[in-house]
Structure 1
């Protein structure tokens, strides 16, 4: 019995060491392709993005299964162990956008590892709301409208602060696919999705 306990202890220590090595290797993987200064410049851009009305955060969370509350570690855990998976955190999208110019020189496994590392670094340096503000300032809403401010003026003729609940929900739905859910091209399709979102 003592021998079995001893074996379990050794295995536990071994797995703990392997886990720690893998973890620290992952969180620092971004260093293969980026400098700290490069990342800090990017983080400054994210932090400078203007805040949005609270309803934007509310409806984005409702439409994306509380993804503003989900971080990379929790997302990965749910992906492996939970039956209901939330949408990827915004940090994944931001990491992908930042990494696209450099990823062609890496293998698939290394791309995934560095993207995960970047996502975790983004979460460490910026808040979920800051990430959301920045994402909406860069989204292409088609018709040459980049960012939610321009989209608000183009599609509704209003400043962001003047939008009503229905219009905010419309812009959140448009993030999914701005060409498909477009108030000028397919107003009925967008309206149906907005009604579903407002009922949640």
Structure 2
């Protein structure tokens, strides 16, 4: 009877260990899936004019740093496959936005989706942990210094938006606060690559 009890205890311990390993492996795989949908994460570590030029170059082909998606071409289902459901907007139909925030320095992304399920607007909010790199490190002045004056400046609510045209099919938008606190410099909140033809 004691041998049977010892065998049962060993079996239970083995099953518990196997379950723990399986859960850990699943978490690791899930983490890998998040990064599989991202492009070169090292891009967000770039600073200043180098990063702005990289953003502009990517925007000319409908992309933003951190993603392999292409505005006007990639279906949101591809993002759902890689990252799962969004934190915001996943239950909406028709033209809508979906948001993913990975936290802990991993960044946040937004997607404008048309009624056919194609992404027409890519947004990179950068990460908030280290604001000396990536999107949050940029200022309107640094954007102008690197790219020249924007094609257009728009104001929406409390946001100021610098609009550039890196390619005929795309608009690149640098979005930040229209006013900064006294003695502060307004930093870019997020960037957009927008494909107007896909917004139907």
**How does the TM-score come out when normalised to structure 1?**
0.33
Larger radius of gyration: 2
Greater share of residues in helix? 1
